[in-house]
Structure 1
Amino acid sequence: MQKIKHVFFDLDHTLWDFEKNSALSFQSIFQKHKLPFSVDEFLEKYVPINLKYWKMYRLDKITKEELRYQRLKEAFNSVKFAAADELINEIADLYILKLGEQKHLFEGSLDLLNYLKPKYKLHIITNGFQEVQSKKMYNSGISNYFLTTTTSEDVMLKKPHPKVFLHALQKAEATAEESVMIGDNLEADIYGALDVGMDAIYFGNNTTFTGKRVEQLLELKNYL
C-alpha cells in the first residue's frame, strides 16, 4: 500500500466503542427514570433492533426522527413496557446527549492513531448524527488526530452512496488511488469505498470476506 497518503476511518464500531458507550448511556438514563427492567434485559432486545433501524436509515427508508423514536418504541414493546410517546421522546433526546459524553475507544485505538499520524493524513467518514459525532471524538480524545470529518448530513446522503466518499475525498484534497477506508460495515464502509476506487480494510470477524481484513486494530500496522 505504498501509494496510500490518506487514511479514512469510520467512527462508531471501528474506533469508538459504540456498544459499551451506548450501554453506559442507557444505564445512566435507567437510573434517572427508574424503569422496571434491567439495562441488560433491555439491551438484549435493543441492540439488534437498533442495527435493523440503522440499516433502514442508511437505505433512506426512514428519517432520522423515525430512527430515534422507533428503535426505542420497539425495544420497549419487546420488554413489555408500555412507554408513552412523551417518555420515548424524552429518553431519545437524553440518550443522544449522554452518548456524546462517553469516551470509550476500542483497544489499540490510540496506539494505532499515534502510529499512523506521522505517516498519513487521517480523516473520518461517518453516518452518525452530526451533532453528536464531534462530541464523541472530543470527549474520547481523538479529535486532534483527524484533519477532516465527513458526516452523512454534510451531503444529505449516507454511506455507501458514492457521493459521500467523493465528498470526503474532495474535502481532504485526496484522490481515491491514494486513499484507504477502514470500517466495520462491509456494505457501508468497505464496498462503498471500493466502488469509488479507494482501497479498503475491513475491521471485523466476517471470515467470508476475502479482501484485506483485521480483527484487532493494531493488526492494521501489517498493512500501513
Structure 2
Amino acid sequence: MAYKHLFFDLDHTLWDFEKNSSECLADIYDVFEFKSLNISTLAEFQSEFSIVNKRYWTMLENNEITHEELRRRRFRDTLNNLGVVADDSFGLKINEYFLGLLPQKAHLIEGAVEVLEYLLPNYELHIISNGWQDIQVNKMKSSEIHHYFGEVITNELAGTRKPNRRIFDYAIEITNANIAESLMIGDNYEADILGAINANMDTVFYNPDGIPTTEKPTFDIKRLVELKNIL
C-alpha cells in the first residue's frame, strides 16, 4: 500500500509522557511540600499518580467521565490513596499547576526525531490526540517537533475522542486524505489501533512492551525506528 498521510498519536508515542510528567511531579512534590503531608518519598507519589492517571484516561476514552472530572479527581485520588485528605478544590489546584508546567517539558520517545526527519520528505504528517488542544500544541513546540506536522487534531476540534471513529473520519476530512492511503500510528491499543481499525484505517501499533492483541494491527513495532522498515 502506498501511504500518503501518516497520523500519529502524541503522548507515549512521540512525546515521552512518563519522563516529562515525572519531572513535573518532582516539582509538585517540593512546591506543595508533600513530604510534610507524610508522603514519604517522591517515587511513591509518582507511582501512585501514574496508576490513577492511566485509570482515569481509560475511563475518559470509554466515555465514563468528562475531561473536567479527570482534571478534578486524578490528583485528589492520588493523595487520598496515599493517606492525605484532599478535596476536589485542592486536586484541581495541583492539576492546574501540573498542566502549566507539563507542556514546557521536551523529552521525546527514543528515535522520534530520527523517524520524523526520515518521513517528512515523502509523507503528510498529522497528529490525532485525545489531549487538550493548547497543551498538545505547546508540548510539540517545547520539544521542537511542531514543524513536522500539518494538522493537530484533538477531541476539542473533532467533538469526540479516540476510539470513536468520528475523530478519524474528521481527520480524513480536514486533511483531504484518502482512507486507503492513510496510516494511524499509536501506542494505545484500544484508542489508537481499534479505533482506527473501526474507521477502516491501516495501523501501526507502537508496542514496546509486546502486549498481545486480539485484533491484529497492520504492523506491530517495539521501537519507533522500525517505521523506517515499513515506510
2-structure distance, mates of 1:184, 1:147 = 21
2-structure distance, mates of 1:74, 1:88 = 8
Task: Measure how far apart 1:207 and its partner are.
Answer: 4.3
The TM-score normalised by the length of structure 2 is: 0.93
2:212 alignment partner in structure 1: 208
1-structure distance, mates of 2:68, 2:125 = 31
Superposed CA deviations along residues 30-57 of structure 1, whole A, max 9, x for unmatched, are 2212112222101211112111111111
Q: Retained in 2: the 8 A contact 1:23–1:39?
A: no
Q: Which 4+ runs in 1 deviate beyond 6 A?
A: none
Identity of aligned residues (%): 39
Q: Which amino acid aligns with 2:53?
A: N
Q: How does 1:162-201 map to 2 (within 5 A)?
A: 162-201=165-204
1-structure distance, mates of 2:148, 2:130 = 19
Q: Are positions 1:35 and 2:27 aligned together?
A: no
2-structure distance, mates of 1:145, 1:39 = 35
Q: Are positions 1:22 and 2:42 aligned together?
A: no
The TM-score normalised by the length of structure 1 is: 0.96
Superposed CA deviations along residues 90-133 of structure 1, whole A, max 9, x for unmatched, are 11100011111111000100000000000101000000112210
Q: Secondary structure at the match of 2:203?
A: strand
2-structure distance, mates of 1:85, 1:179 = 42
Q: Which amino acid aligns with 2:221?
A: V
Q: Which amino acid aligns with 1:4?
A: Y
2-structure distance, mates of 1:117, 1:216 = 18
Q: Secondary structure at the match of 1:74?
A: helix
2-structure distance, mates of 1:16, 1:136 = 8
Q: Retained in 1: the 8 A contact 2:74–2:91?
A: no
Superposed CA deviations along residues 176-202 of structure 1, whole A, max 9, x for unmatched, are 100000000111101111111211000
Q: Secondary structure at the match of 2:34?
A: coil
2:106 alignment partner in structure 1: 103
Q: Which amino acid aligns with 2:149?
A: F
Q: How does 1:42-191 map to 2 (within 5 A)?
A: 42-191=45-194
The alignment of Structure 1 onto Structure 2 pairs a total of residues equal to 223
Q: Which amino acid aligns with 1:187?
A: E
2:4 alignment partner in structure 1: 5
2-structure distance, mates of 1:15, 1:207 = 18
Runs of 5+ consecutive residues of structure 1 not aligned to the other structure: none
Q: Retained in 2: the 8 A contact 1:125–1:151?
A: yes
1:219 alignment partner in structure 2: 226
Q: Secondary structure at the match of 1:166?
A: helix
2-structure distance, mates of 1:85, 1:187 = 29
Q: Retained in 1: the 8 A contact 2:210–2:222?
A: no
